[in-house]
Structure 1
Amino acid sequence: MPSPEYSLSDVLERLDHNQLALEAALIELTLLVESQGHAETGDNVRCALHTIGENAGHIKQGLAKLRAQGPH
């Protein structure tokens, strides 16, 4: 059975979904770490989460542009 072909926008959309899943997991772990008294570690993770959040908008805009261009 031949493997399916994926467009660039399909691949990037899957990467975006992975990023959102990782973000959700990090939030859960951050809450756990902070509840155990590790506020500094929680702050460090929250800085990384902020970067993820900022980049999410750029990724979504790029995906929208790729979809508007049609399949390649």
Structure 2
Amino acid sequence: MPSDSDSNITAADALTLLLHNQHALAAAIEEVTRWLSENGVEAVAHNAVAAMETLDTNAKEIADAILRLRGL
């Protein structure tokens, strides 16, 4: 049976990968948002910005959880 420390490392590693995915998604949404704004689809661009704000908020919480799991 793995120790708590091993479990924390595994969880932190998994959360780190999810955080990287979250950053990649935010970057992709940002590119789409820019294109939408440049092509006159402001309402959809506004919704995309709201989605990015949610990703940013959650990314901070994930990063905090990673630091707690790693004991930092």
Fold conserved between structures, TM > 0.5: yes
Write the distance in 2 (CA, Å) between the matches of 1:8 and 1:54.
20
- Superposed displacement of residue 68, structure 1: 0.8
Q: TM-score, normalised by structure 1?
A: 0.83
Note the 1:38-57 alignment, pairs <5 A. Answer: 38-57=41-60
Unaligned runs of 5+ in 2: 1-8
- Superposed displacement of residue 8, structure 1: 1.1
Write the distance in 1 (CA, Å) between the matches of 2:10 and 2:59.
20
1:24 aligns with 2:24: no
Moved over 2 A (4+): none
- Superposed displacement of residue 56, structure 1: 1.3
Give the % identical residues: 33
Of 66, 69, 72, the match for 1:66: 69
Report SS of the residue matched to 1:68: coil
Greater percentage in helix: 2
1:10 aligns with 2:13: yes
- Superposed displacement of residue 34, structure 1: 1.1
